Structure 1
């Protein structure tokens, strides 16, 4: 027991001394700098389908997992209001058409009134000319002449007024006909929206409503996306986004495939930052795609920023204040370059024969 008590301090002292003297030398190796991100797999061209009218889901024409083509009906909605509105709009258009074509009493009355005014103008014109000629011969009275003249002027003014009124009324009826026709066309469009159709060739991934449920125009009813092409959605921290470029190589591992590695390429960088997660979304396209993919598969990715061959590197744990190392001759300043998760490139300051020591904590 006494021997063990004496040996323990010695072993502890030896262990501490060895840790304090940990050292290494720079190594020449290939170095890859990358940015880490999380990964979620999603179908390409995926979108949420919405209804254009509020109603009851009457019939579900597809099932989740079914393949669909462009224009294929997927859901049918019941709503009587658009049909009634369409019929009312059709009747309003027919009335406007009849009015414009002269079958309305308004235009007929105006036309008859105008014809009578023209006849009166013609009669008053003849009487005025006759009275005018008599007055030149000093036959008749001046009062009678003035009366005939006033009747003629009034009849002429009445004809002009009725002409303008007829023209204005015709224009108004024409505009009402065009407006009624537009309303009818709009109502027909709404009735067509009773059936929700696929906008792409793809697959039905989700149907959010059951038959008989109320459908709102604010809520999606189905999720549709590509059946064969998938993309990797990456979330990159805002401190790294400035280093990401299109066409950069991406190394991906998925939980569903264990340690198997897949390659992809950066295809799209979304400019809007997610304020909640403080990340930017990036889309990457597989260059060697896994044999089977499903929406929502998750994993990890490394976006390759730069690669160098045969560079001098040291472990990052040996750095002091980012650009100094501790050697047997003291602290030496070095110039660094590319860095990976645990290694960093040394450009100048030391060589591969320099011994560096682990800095004290």
Structure 2
């Protein structure tokens, strides 16, 4: 019985040794079989995407020529107007102090005129009798005419203060009209609001904003690392979040010579403002303020040797790019490469590889094996 017991123990030990050897041998092999890809020749465009919005090329703020209260608004936001179309009417509310001064000036002018008239009529009789000379009478007549003119001026000023215009017609100043043809973007006032005229001391109250929506520009920001590569007149593609699956052509027309201080303060990145003309197309209506992205071509190369950018690896110490090239079955060696421009998917290879090299797809992972139904059961 003891002999049988020892034989059983020996069999178990030998079986364990065989199992351990098999396990070690199985784990010495790589669980992943790496695929390879070869370099290819293609054209690469290095692009930059600028975020921003579209605004009208020409937007005009319509302001009144006289202070008062909005009495009537004749248009709505979105209306199409021609130059000269009536937008609103203003009621004039005169200042009491100014009105009182104007009335006093009229009274004084009327008193002066009455006195000048008396002098004129008395001296006219004397002149006809030859008592006074012609020169003396002419001076008196001149004073009389000046008094009449002063009264007319004072009455006109009083009427302007009371009604907003002289001559009995208030349309010159109290009627607010469009100065350009376009679309009404905004009416920031309502009936009853008090408005201030535009003059040398203030901008005045805006009655309406009008713009020609057929002429739009893209306004966005570009990082300092890319702004030096931009060229005025370069083409670009503009897309809008509100119009999916559609790109509009554009042309770069302005690159700011100074960084945007406000943008840098909030984001921590030095950025520069750019502007581009947007070429409109029939059948599309673009509203002012649409968010937009502009794709700009910074560099372009034709027929260059390239690989997929995902095949690149980077040295942890030097951060230099390299790839692993196959030298035998599932055997690879490192090759340093010099890269050029990239479009985010493909990258130019300047040196280090040939078209026949087989490059290791290093980031491949072994798919997880699913257990069969029978095994699960």
Instruction: Please tell me whether residue 255 in structure 1 is matched to residue 241 in structure 2.
Output: yes
The 3 A distance-change label for structure 1 pair 263 and 51 is same
2: distance between equivalents of 1:357 and 1:210? 70
Aligned pair count reads 266
Query: 2:334 maps to which residue?
Result: 330
Please point out which of 192, 197, 207 is paired with 1:221. 207
Q: Is the 8 A contact 1:41 1:293 kept in 2?
A: no
How far residue 315 of structure 1 moved from its aligned partner, in angstroms, is: 2.6
By how many angstroms is 1:308 displaced?
2.0
Shift in Å, 1:356: 3.2
Residues 1-361 of structure 1 aligned to structure 2 (within 5 Å): 17-18=32-33, 21=34, 23-51=36-64, 54-81=67-94, 85=98, 194-215=174-195, 220-271=206-257, 273=260, 274-275=262-263, 276=266, 279-287=271-279, 289=281, 291-295=283-287, 296-317=289-310, 318-320=312-314, 323-328=320-325, 329-334=333-338, 336-357=339-360
Distance change (3 Å), C-alpha of 1:74 and 1:17: same
CA distance in 2, matches of 1:227, 1:327: 55
Q: How many Å apart are 1:228 and its aligned residue?
A: 2.4
Q: Distance in 2 between matches of 1:17 and 1:280?
A: 48
With normalisation by structure 1, the TM-score equals 0.59
Residues 92 and 311 of structure 1: CA distance in aligned 2, closer, same or farther (over 3 Å): farther
Q: How does the TM-score come out when normalised to structure 2?
A: 0.57
CA distance 1:315–1:227, change in 2 (3 Å)? same
How far the C-alpha of 1:91 sits from its partner, in A, is: 7.7
Contiguous gaps of at least 5 residues in structure 2: 1-25, 117-149, 166-171, 197-202, 326-332, 365-377
The offset of 1:35, in angstroms, is 0.8
Structure 1: gaps spanning 5 or more residues: 1-10, 104-176
Indicate if the aligned counterparts of 2:306 and 2:348 stay in contact, CA closer than 8 A.
yes
CA RMSD of aligned residues (A): 4.2
> CA deviation digits over 1:222-261, x for unaligned, max 9?
2210042223333333443333221111112223332123
Q: Distance in 1 between matches of 2:189 and 2:27?
A: 69
Instruction: Provide the C-alpha distance between the structure 1 equivalents of 2:36 and 2:30, rounded to a whole number of angstroms.
Output: 15
Task: Name the SS for the 2:242 alignment partner.
Answer: helix
The 1:68–1:327 alpha-carbon spacing in structure 2 relative to 1, beyond 3 Å, is same
Distance in 2 between residues matched to 1:12 and 1:226, nearest whole Å: 73
Cα separation, 2, equivalents of 1:344 and 1:201? 50
Higher fraction of helix: 1
Give the match's secondary structure for 1:81. coil
Contact 1:67–1:227, Cα closer than 8 Å, also in 2: no
Distance 1:289 1:50 in 2: 32
Cα separation, partners in 2 of 1:16 and 1:44, compared to 1, 3 Å:
farther
Q: Which residue of 2 is the match for residue 112 of structure 1?
A: none
Offset from partner CA, 1:146-176 (integer Å, 9 cap, x none):
xxxxxxxxxxxxxxxxxxxxxxxxxxxxxxx
**Residues 61 and 73 in structure 1, CA contact (< 8 A), matched pair in contact too:** yes
DSSP-derived class of the 2:250 partner: strand
Matched-pair contact (CA < 8 Å) for 1:326–1:358: no
Change in Cα spacing, 1:234 to 1:87, as seen in structure 2 (3 Å) is farther
Task: Give the distance between the partners of 1:78 and 1:12, measured in 2 at CA.
Answer: 94
* Matches of 1:271 and 1:195, distance apart in 2: 42
1:240 is paired with a residue whose SS is helix
